[in-house]
Chains A and B, each alone.
Chain A
């Protein structure tokens, strides 16, 4: 049973435009959500997080939106840069345990 889903395996965006990565979850008990970025041959790197009591969190070019009623979160990258090309994982936590989506490979074209 996959509690966190990323339905788009890949996304291609032109440099300077917005990248929107989506994630859906099924467990209403999740109270903390995170996005990780992963380059080849490296471990996932923490990017941004949001608590379930908020609906938006911003950090520079990265913004995460949470829609609890739809059980949906999204990551917006504006403007996208070629260095953002990586696999992005969303994760959800119910206190101690983390559940990961299968990842979306973002390609930002120069």
Chain B
């Protein structure tokens, strides 16, 4: 079974520019998560989708971050405009259902550097 795919793997941009990340979850996984992982910290949830609906976006900085999951499969996360503190690894994860003992599986992440 193919894992969670993410692209690009690396991105370097200047502050105030825009950037977008793409995620393709494991086939059949209804739940999709975007996390931000700053160096030395654990992943922090940005947004969670169940199919194509948003379940939790309480920690998404909505003035600059947006995400969508059209047709309940692929998802994109956008930052516009980027700030220096957005430098981090952005991880996408998926999970079969929302059941409490379902494991979530991570993609390789996109490392963003904002100069």
Residues of chain A touching chain B, judged by Cβ–Cβ distance below 8 Å, are: 4, 6, 9, 31-32, 34, 36, 41-46, 49, 51, 89, 91, 93-98, 100-103
28 CB-based A-B contacts, threshold 8 Å: A6-B42, A9-B40, A31-B100, A32-B100, A32-B101, A34-B103, A41-B108, A41-B111, A43-B106, A43-B107, A44-B43, A44-B106, A46-B103, A49-B101, A49-B103, A89-B42, A89-B43, A91-B42, A93-B100, A94-B100, A95-B98, A96-B48, A96-B56, A96-B98, A97-B48, A101-B42, A102-B41, A103-B42
Residue of A nearest to B50 (CB): A96
- In the A-B complex, the 7 residue pairs with the smallest Cβ-Cβ separation, listed nearest first, are A100-B42, A43-B106, A95-B100, A43-B108, A44-B106, A102-B42, A100-B43
Please tell me which one of the listed residues B31, B91, B111 contacts residue A44 in the complex, with CB atoms under 8 A apart.
Answer: B91
> Which chain B residues border A4 with CB–CB below 8 Å?
42
Please tell me which one of the listed residues B31, B48, B55, B109 contacts residue A43 in the complex, with CB atoms under 8 A apart.
Answer: B109
- Residue B77 at the A interface, CB < 8 A? no
- Residue B80 at the A interface, CB < 8 A? no
Residues of chain B touching chain A, judged by Cβ–Cβ distance below 8 Å, are: 4, 6, 31, 33, 40-45, 48, 55-56, 91, 93, 98, 100-101, 103-109, 111
- A96 vs B102: C-alpha distance when bound (angstroms): 9
> Which chain B residues border A43 with CB–CB below 8 Å?
4, 6, 91, 93, 106-109
- A38 vs B68: C-alpha distance when bound (angstroms): 27
Least CB distance, A68 to chain B, in whole angstroms: 15
Are the CB atoms of B106 and A45 closer together than 8 Å? yes
- A51 vs B102: C-alpha distance when bound (angstroms): 11
Least CB distance, A96 to chain B, in whole angstroms: 5
Least CB distance, B104 to chain A, in whole angstroms: 6
Least CB distance, A38 to chain B, in whole angstroms: 9
- A45 vs B41: C-alpha distance when bound (angstroms): 16
